[in-house]
Amino acid sequence: MRTALVNGRVLLPSGLRDDCCVVIGDGEIRALSSEPPADAMVVDLGGRLLLPGFIDTQVNGGGGALFNDDPSVETIRTIATTHARYGTTGLLPTLISDDLAVVERGIRAVDAAIEAGIPGVLGIHIEGPFLNALRRGIHSEGKLRPLKDEYLDLLTSARHGKTLITLAPECATPAQIRHLVGKGVIVAAGHSDAPYETVRAAIEGGLSGFTHLFNAMSQLANRAPGMVGAALEDDSTFAGIIADGHHLHPATLRVAARAKGAHRLMLVTDAMPSVGTDSPSFMLQGREIWRDGDTLHGADGVLAGSTLTMAGALKGMIEQGRVSLRDAAAMASATPAAFLGLEGSTGIIAPGMRADLVLIDRAFVVHETWIGGRARDAR
């Protein structure tokens, strides 16, 4: 049976519509109409906002589970189910720097999760261990290493979904980046002290993204543009950004939005196990991480991911970044879909697209999430 979503404020690519009925069936958006079909089950949206489902390319954990701790199907299920409560309809479970045996287990777990049909799993994000120790953030220095050619087969071994790798360009070569991209891997730069020229060489080698822009990377200076300068200048690359009010000053969000635009800047959470729980702390590779309000930090005060949800990121980008709902929603949906090469199937509300949808109110509280047309009660 088809389902007709009525009485909502629907965000279409052309803007908000108050008179639009969204008809979904067989996992897809079947039609946009003024009236529900006679044979459809009608769902009243109560005047709330219906947006494209959120896509998060950097999710370390949620619901008390951390992907690094147990790279398994059940961990992925817990993380995906938790984030679906906050409007995330697609995500990449993310491994921070670890032993290559853990990376291999993570790849196999994501393959198995996709084969098992766990809703919302789009692939894997391998963030490290090919990072610069000077910009490691909360990553363990003992796990870091340069990228070697002998690792390339492992990094390109996923059978399903998308593989995103974050590396420091100074820890790899343009030829290695070109090889990864040629095998279908998406390569992003992060946790790097690379100069502008090294970043440009990586972009020419196929690097197409930047991980948590401004954080853990060489900064923009007057005669040394660094990674930040390369990211802001380049029109072809995408950049993730953490709009939680802690990782970045609001003015920095606004600079990023103006430089990259809504079609190249994408919201990410960098979420940790604390999302969806009240736990005051958790263990990360033998180190205790404490929660202080909405921030997470280790004993040295270094930020350790976030407690952010995609609904919270949307709110932060609108209120602090001062962008429109339409642009913020694109940063949460259409833009990450394009970054992953999925713009033909998800990221906007249009006939023929997957029925990945989120219903929120004016306070950015999520009331319902649909993944492939299946509702997941968020209340």
Active site positions, annotated = 270
> Which residues are paired to 289 by β-bridges?
282
Angle between helix 196-204 and helix 226-233 axes, rounded to 10 deg: 40
Tokens matching residue 143: 């796990």
- Taking the C-alpha atoms of residue 199 and residue 213, their distance in angstroms, rounded to an integer, is 14
Cα distance between residue 323 and residue 223, in whole Å: 30
**Which neighbouring-strand residues pair with 88?**
54
Strands 28-33 and 21-25 turn out to be antiparallel
Strands 3-6 and 41-44: parallel
Buried-exposed string 266-302: b where 16+ CB fall within 10 A, e elsewhere: bbbbbbbbbbbbeeeebebbeeebebeeebbbeeeee
Q: How far is CA 307 from the centre of its chain?
A: 14
**Residue 369: closest CA among 91, 88, 119, 11:** 88
Angle 226-233/250-260 helices, nearest 10 degrees? Answer: 40
